[in-house]
């Protein structure tokens, strides 16, 4: 569920940055970082589906599953690091004069 929340947050951030357009000071880096984060999240999701579907009791698949789990963990770490940089660049919604 946390991955879904992060996926939705990144999609919302991407929408805000695209609405602001090239006037946003860090437009290209933020769009790139958010796109990387979204792609990695989808990749981790697909990887986790494969990990769950395979039989862990089959000794022939245990090494491959272990490798896949290590890769998934590494990708999650990269996703966290990328999102720290996204936050550092400060994506803000447009100011509305209500």
Calpha distance 70→50 (Å, rounded) = 13
Note the pLDDT tens digit of each residue in 56-80: 777 888 888 889 999 999 999 999 9
Whole-model pTM: value is 0.80
Q: Considering the domain boundaries, does residue 98 fall inside one? A: no
Residue with tokens 């996204």: 86
The reply to whether 39 falls in a domain is yes
Task: Return the pLDDT at 98.
Answer: 42
The pLDDT tens digits for 22-54 are 887 888 889 999 999 999 999 999 998 888 888
Bigger pLDDT: 79 vs 7: 79
Parent domain of 70:
2-89
Does 30 map to a domain?
yes
Domain count, the chain: 1
Strands (E), the chain: none
pLDDT of residue 7 exceeding 90:
no
Q: Is residue 97 part of a domain?
A: no
């Amino acid at each position: 569920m946390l991955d879904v929340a992060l996926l939705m947050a990144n999609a919302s951030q991407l929408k805000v940055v695209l609405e602001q357009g090239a006037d946003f000071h860090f437009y290209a880096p933020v769009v790139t970082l958010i796109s990387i984060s979204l792609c990695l999240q989808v990749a981790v999701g697909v990887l986790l589906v494969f990990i769950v579907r395979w039989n862990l009791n089959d000794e022939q698949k245990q090494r491959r599953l272990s490798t896949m789990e290590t890769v998934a963990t590494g990708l999650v770490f990269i996703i966290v690091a990328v999102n720290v940089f996204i936050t550092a660049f400060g994506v803000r919604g447009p100011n509305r004069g209500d």
